[in-house]
Structure 1
């Protein structure tokens, strides 16, 4: 299972992220000694609207801009650039370090990054929001909880649909790679769980779950996996992809020691 130096001996790890993001994760897995299997189950489609454009043109009327994913950062900043609008005059809160890093790629700095990378920590960290206007541009399929939590803290929330998260269509090569057998299936969002579940049943490849471990990036994703009837074997204490890879390595090494 492992080489003498303790590196993972090419365990096959399924990456269910969107294709472009999945490639970056695959490179990290490969560097850590795994054999990545790219199987995108998500596709992101930008959705421009009058509501979004109006919010961008009146950005200084908001107290907070809340961006809950790297995708939200990318699509929001790209649309701002298309309209010739500077993202300025508003405080920016993001969901975690990875989102803050994505923001920096557009020349912007987050004013608030929670210590724990979950939506609840983001909202709690913003404190009393009575009398504050909050702009929340995000996926039109986003979880409703964060909106309710922001409003519970007194915020006047303007939610705008920024993009759609849809189910990707796997090609024959991807399905064949899946059917070769895999050791771990990774999930980085609840939608990836739901879409994967839908795809494997649609194409009759449910047996991929027979011996694979399930690894989730954090508790919200793990909850979605458990709701689908999956047992979650790996979840890192810090909700990042790097931490997920390290948790996978530790799990594999532990399994090796127990069986060896």
Structure 2
């Protein structure tokens, strides 16, 4: 972007996702003239599922493995690390599905092709499109996080398909940067706050209530990915200004640029 076409010029943007995705979002905001503040309000770690041994022994019995997130892929392969050699021997007999481009790209890193991905990246649309397009299954495995819903599994079971849900990772609330976040909000620096999941907003809202910062929040423009995240924000009384149809951070960034670009033209 050229210096005279910086839609986020001078805008202070809170980024609540950490890791590679958060770093990329920060770089994108800066390239558009914005001032990014990365304060991760969500993090992930491996989960020790009580049924892990059973799932590991049963991997060859599944004809579909369905991933609903990039983290699902990443932590699944961590879980099966000691069984990877056996998995490579029978993986060609399994079909794989992904919800979203990032999930599909993560599968590709493990040299696995996705055989199905819905046009809209939600569990509801996955469940509908999978059967509309004539796919079927006998036994499906869904590696997921501890906060993920049961929509896909419930849909498969309603079609008399065995659907096992393996919790391979858990979400937790990182607290090391909370003091910094409190100061940023108290000083009324933020023009926008971006949330990638209901958890990121719930953790943000926990800070707002714990430190009595409500009066500092109403001038912030909220951006979200997905209807569930949008509803979580609106249920607390905050309007959502940006919510892209495509559920990706890249799409949220582009719509954030459009939103502030329009504001700048109106000024």
Tell me the TM-score normalised to structure 1 length.
Answer: 0.89
- 2:117 partner SS: coil
Structure 1 residues 61-70 or 220-229, which shifts more? 220-229
Give a deviation string over 1:38-68, Cα, whole Å, max 9, x none: 1111121211235224323321211211111
Q: Equivalent of 2:183, from 176, 184, 195? A: 176
Deviation at 1:147, TM superposition (A): 2.8
Q: Equivalent of 1:112, from 116, 139, 144? A: 116
In structure 2, do the counterparts of structure 1 residues 199 and 154 end up closer, same or farther at CA, with 3 Å as the change threshold?
farther
Q: Equivalent of 2:259, from 242, 245, 251? A: 251
In structure 2, do the counterparts of structure 1 residues 178 and 146 end up closer, same or farther at CA, with 3 Å as the change threshold?
farther
- 2:118 partner SS: coil
Aligned length: 258
**Corresponding residue of 1:155:** 161
**Corresponding residue of 1:43:** 43
Structure 1 residues 18-27 or 115-124, which shifts more? 18-27
**Corresponding residue of 1:11:** 11
Q: Is residue 182–residue 207 contact of structure 2 (8 Å, CA) maintained in 1? A: no
Deviation at 1:223, TM superposition (A): 1.9
Deviation at 1:11, TM superposition (A): 0.9
In structure 2, do the counterparts of structure 1 residues 163 and 175 end up closer, same or farther at CA, with 3 Å as the change threshold?
same
Residue 191 of structure 2 is aligned to residue 190 of structure 1: no
Structure 1 residues 37-46 or 18-27, which shifts more? 18-27
* CA distance in structure 1 between the aligned counterparts of 2:233 and 2:152, rounded to whole angstroms: 20
Deviation at 1:15, TM superposition (A): 0.9
In structure 2, do the counterparts of structure 1 residues 56 and 207 end up closer, same or farther at CA, with 3 Å as the change threshold?
farther
**Corresponding residue of 1:60:** 60
* CA distance in structure 1 between the aligned counterparts of 2:173 and 2:122, rounded to whole angstroms: 23
Deviation at 1:124, TM superposition (A): 1.7
Structure 1 residues 222-231 or 244-253, which shifts more? 222-231
Unpaired runs of 5+ residues, structure 1, are none
Pairing of 1:94-109 with structure 2 (within 5 A):
94-109=98-113
* CA distance in structure 2 between the aligned counterparts of 1:152 and 1:175, rounded to whole angstroms: 46
Residue 210 of structure 2 is aligned to residue 209 of structure 1: no
**Corresponding residue of 1:233:** 241
Unpaired runs of 5+ residues, structure 2, are none
Tell me the TM-score normalised to structure 2 length.
Answer: 0.87
Deviation at 1:244, TM superposition (A): 0.8
* CA distance in structure 2 between the aligned counterparts of 1:250 and 1:208, rounded to whole angstroms: 24
Deviation at 1:77, TM superposition (A): 1.2
Structure 1 residues 18-27 or 34-43, which shifts more? 18-27
In structure 2, do the counterparts of structure 1 residues 125 and 108 end up closer, same or farther at CA, with 3 Å as the change threshold?
same
Give a deviation string over 1:90-143, Cα, whole Å, max 9, x none: 111111111111111222221111111111111122216776211111111212
Deviation at 1:19, TM superposition (A): 4.5
- 2:51 partner SS: helix
* CA distance in structure 2 between the aligned counterparts of 1:253 and 1:111, rounded to whole angstroms: 39
- 1:37 partner SS: strand
In structure 2, do the counterparts of structure 1 residues 205 and 168 end up closer, same or farther at CA, with 3 Å as the change threshold?
farther
- 1:126 partner SS: helix
